[in-house]
Chains A and B, each alone.
Chain A
C-alpha cells in the first residue's frame, strides 16, 4: 500500500497498443477526475508509429494543485503488453504499486514486476465482451481505474458523454462492468476532493495561445512542428473570433518573416515552433532586433540536438534562445514555470515585445505544451503594455535616440511618418549607415531599452526561506515545488520567469543569506548553470542537478539532492 501520499495523490498509467484506445480512455479519466472535483494532470507517451503503436496515458489525480509527476505510479494498467516495456523508464513502479493486466494477454513484462509491484489479473476483454458485444476493453479499464482511485462512477459517465461520439452506450455499460469488477480489489482511495475553486482544464499549448490573444496578438504565422502544432491549431479558429488572422507558412523562415511583416504593419504577431524551427528563425529574429520590430516566438522545447526526440521534453534551447543570434542582439526571453503560467507568461512576453519593440522568445516545452491538467484559474492582468506609436509633426526619426531607448514607431497608413525599417545598421532617421558613431549609438539604444526594463516581481517565483536555494526555470519548477513542500526543510525556490534581460541585482537580493545553491535543469550540459554563472553571482556551494530529456524530474530525486 502506498504511503500517506497515495491518499492525496494517485498516479495511474494506462497502456496498450494499436486500436486499444488508451489515449481516449486516459482523457476520460482526466475529465472524470476533474468533474469529481479533483486536480488532475495527464501526460502521454507513445511509440513512433503513426497509428497502431504502443502508447500509455499517464494521469495523476490529486487533492492539491500540481503539474509535476509523482515519484512513482500507483497503478499500471494495460490492455495488452505489446512493446509496453519500452516505457519502463517513464513508468516507475514500487512495492506498493498495482499492475492490472488482462491474463489473456500474458504476464506483465519482468521490467515492471521486478519493482515489487503486485500483479492483479483482470480479464478486460472478457468483461467487455460479456457486458456488451463489441465493447472496448479500454472502457472496462477506465471503469476499473475509476473505482481503484476512488472516483464516483457518475463522473466517469459524464466524462464519457462529453468525449465519446461512437459507442457511447456500450462504453458506459463496459465501464460500469469494469467499475463493478474492481470493487473486489484493493485500491488507493483518494480523500475527499478539495474545496471547490474556479478551475480550468487546459493544456500548456492552449494556455500559451490564450495568453497570446490576451496580450493582443492578432496575427499568427504557422508552420507545423511537434510539439508546437496544437498551439497553432488552437489559435487558428480562435483568431477570427477576436478579429485576427492565421496564415500557414511554407517553412519556418516564412513564418517568422510573415510575423515580422504583420508586426511592421502595426498588428502584434506571433509564431510558435520547437528547437529545429527556432534555429531557422534566428536570422529573422536578428532582423527584428536591428529594425526594432516586435515579435513573439513560442519555443515549445523538445529533446535535441537536431531532430532529437520530437515527442519528448527537454530544456536545452536556452543557449539558442539567449545567444542564438549573430551580432549583439539584446532581446527578451521569458519562461513560464507552471501549466497555468503559460497564459500569463505568454501574455507578458507579448506586452514586453510590443512596448520594447523587440523580439521575445517564450521558452515553453513539450511537457507543458502537451500536458493537460486541472488548474486553478490564474489571476490575470489586463495588459498595460503597448506600442509607443509615432505621430506626425516634425520630420520623423524612426530610430531617434531617446532616453529610454524606445522610439515612437510609425504605423503604415499614417501620413507624415513614412520610413523604411532596416536590418542594415542605420542612423536615427533609418538611413543605412556604416559610421562608427551611428552603430555605437544604435547599439547603446537597443541595449538600453531592454536593460531598462523593470519587471517587478514578475521576474521570478520566489517561495520559502532557508539557507539553501533551488534555482530553476520552466517545467522543473513543479517537481521542485513539490519536493520543498514535502521536505519541510528550510529551502527556498527561485524559479526565473525572465531570463533576458538578466536581473543580477534582484537575484542577489533573493539569495541573501543563502549558503548553498542547487541548480535544477533538464539538459545535458548545464546550460542554465552556465547562464547563471555568466550573468549572476552565486554564493557558497553550487550544486547542479541535471539530466537531459526525456524523463522528467520527480520530487524525491530533488529531495535526495537537497
Chain B
C-alpha cells in the first residue's frame, strides 16, 4: 500500500474523464453522465473504488467517460459481468450502465435474474425507445406504431414494461428519472447506490437523432404523485397503471442483498486433498 493520501472532497468533475463523448449534441446521455458524476461526488466515493460496467450501445460508452474503473463488455451481458465483479470484489461500488436495447432485449434474461438475485448493484438504463447505435430500429420499449426501416408499419408488438418486470422479479429499489433534470438524476442515483441490493433506475433519455419527437418528453414527465412504497402489491398496482412518465423513486424494498456463501477463514487448497487420500 502507498502512504495514506490526505482525503480531499472530490467534485463531480473529478469523476469525469477527458475523453470526449461520441454522443450527438443534444443527447440525454450527457445529462446522465453529469448525474452519475454528481452522485459519486455526493456519495464521497473515490474513482478507484467505483467500477462502471456496460454492454454495447450509445449509453454503454459511458465507462470511459468517467475516471472510474470501467468494463465495456459485449452486447447484453453487462449485468452478469457486474455480478461476477461484485461477488468477487464486494468492496467496490459497482454501477451498471445500459440502454433499452442492450438491457431489455438481448439482456432481458439477465435482467430478470439480476433483479431476482438482488446483488448490491445500481443498474442505470438510459431508455430512448430505440436502438440508436445501429441506426434506429425498434427496441422493446418502442411504441407499437412507431415506423422504422426494420418495421415499416410499426412492430405491432406491445412495449416491454421494465419497472413492472423489475418489481415482479425482485428488484429492491425501482426509480425512474428524466435526463432533462440532471440534478434529479444525481439524487436518484445516489439514493439507489445507498440502497442495498439491486437498485434499478430507468432514465428517460431522448435520442435527438432518431427520436427527435422525444423533445416533448419534458412536457410529459411529472414528479410521481405518491411517495415510494415498500409494499410490492401496492407498487404493482401503481406500476401496472403507470404511463411511463412518473419520475422519482417508485419502490423501496427491504430484501437483504445477495451474499454468497460466507467466506470462512480461508485455508490453503492443499487442505482439501485429504478427501481424496487412500
Direct A–B contact in complex, judged by CB atoms less than 8 Å apart: yes
Q: Residues of A at under 8 Å CB distance from B? A: 34-35, 198-202, 206, 210, 213-214, 218-219, 221, 236, 238-247, 249-251, 253-255, 257-267, 269, 283-284, 287, 291, 374, 377, 392, 410, 412-424, 430-432
Query: Cβ of A261 and Cβ of B48 under 8 Å apart?
Result: no
The docked-state distance in angstroms from the alpha carbon of A524 to that of B6 is 66
Contacts A241-B271, A374-B278, A415-B46 known; 12 new A-B pairs at CB < 8 A:
A240-B263, A241-B266, A245-B88, A247-B83, A254-B79, A260-B73, A262-B89, A287-B74, A410-B69, A412-B51, A413-B91, A424-B72
Could you tell me which residues of chain B, from 69 to 101, have a CB within 8 Å of some CB in chain A?
Answer: 69-74, 76-77, 79-89, 91-92
Known contacts A210-B269, A415-B5, A418-B69; A200/B278 CB under 8 A: yes
B19 to chain A, nearest CB (A): 7
The docked-state distance in angstroms from the alpha carbon of A218 to that of B63 is 26
User: Please, could you name 26 A-B residue pairs with CB atoms under 8 Å apart, sorted by A?
Assistant: A198-B277, A201-B278, A210-B269, A213-B272, A238-B272, A240-B261, A241-B264, A245-B263, A246-B261, A249-B113, A254-B79, A254-B80, A261-B84, A262-B89, A265-B85, A267-B89, A284-B73, A412-B48, A413-B92, A415-B47, A417-B48, A418-B68, A418-B69, A419-B69, A420-B72, A431-B64
The docked-state distance in angstroms from the alpha carbon of A258 to that of B271 is 27
Query: Cβ of B89 and Cβ of A266 under 8 Å apart?
Result: yes
Find B73's partner among A257, A413, A419 (CB 8 Å cutoff). Answer: A257
Query: Cβ of A213 and Cβ of B74 under 8 Å apart?
Result: no
A424 contacts across to B, CB distance below 8 A? 72
Judge if B260 is at the interface, Cβ distance under 8 Å. Answer: yes
B82 to chain A, nearest CB (A): 6
Q: How many A-B residue pairs have CB under 8 A?
A: 191
Q: How large is the interface on B (under 10, 10 to 19, 20 to 34, 35 or more residues)?
A: 35 or more
Judge if B109 is at the interface, Cβ distance under 8 Å. Answer: yes
Query: Cβ of B269 and Cβ of A261 under 8 Å apart?
Result: no
B29 to chain A, nearest CB (A): 16
A392 contacts across to B, CB distance below 8 A? 2
Closest chain B residue, CB of each to CB of A251 = B109
Query: Cβ of A423 and Cβ of B74 under 8 Å apart?
Result: yes
Query: Cβ of A247 and Cβ of B87 under 8 Å apart?
Result: yes
Query: Cβ of A416 and Cβ of B48 under 8 Å apart?
Result: yes
Query: Cβ of B77 and Cβ of A254 under 8 Å apart?
Result: yes
A35 contacts across to B, CB distance below 8 A? 278
B85 contacts across to A, CB distance below 8 A? 261-262, 264-265, 412
Find B77's partner among A238, A284, A421, A422 (CB 8 Å cutoff). Answer: A284
B134 contacts across to A, CB distance below 8 A? none
Closest chain A residue, CB of each to CB of B85 = A261
Judge if B262 is at the interface, Cβ distance under 8 Å. Answer: yes
Known contacts A219-B84, A415-B48, A431-B19; A265/B89 CB under 8 A: yes
Query: Cβ of B83 and Cβ of A258 under 8 Å apart?
Result: yes
Find B84's partner among A201, A251, A259 (CB 8 Å cutoff). Answer: A259
Could you tell me which residues of chain B, from 50 to 76, have a CB within 8 Å of some CB in chain A?
Answer: 51-53, 63-64, 67-74, 76
Known contacts A245-B261, A419-B69; A265/B266 CB under 8 A: no
B89 contacts across to A, CB distance below 8 A? 262, 265-267, 412-413
A369 to chain B, nearest CB (A): 15
Judge if B8 is at the interface, Cβ distance under 8 Å. Answer: no
Query: Cβ of A250 and Cβ of B109 under 8 Å apart?
Result: yes
Known contacts A241-B272, A254-B77; A247/B84 CB under 8 A: yes
Known contacts A240-B262, A242-B267, A250-B109; A257/B88 CB under 8 A: no
Interface hub of A244, A249, A258 (most chain B Cβ within 10 A):
A258
B270 contacts across to A, CB distance below 8 A? 214
The docked-state distance in angstroms from the alpha carbon of A511 to that of B270 is 38
Closest chain A residue, CB of each to CB of B271 = A241
B276 contacts across to A, CB distance below 8 A? 200-202, 206, 210
A200 contacts across to B, CB distance below 8 A? 273, 276-278
The docked-state distance in angstroms from the alpha carbon of A262 to that of B83 is 8
A206 contacts across to B, CB distance below 8 A? 276
Known contacts A247-B260, A258-B87; A430/B278 CB under 8 A: no
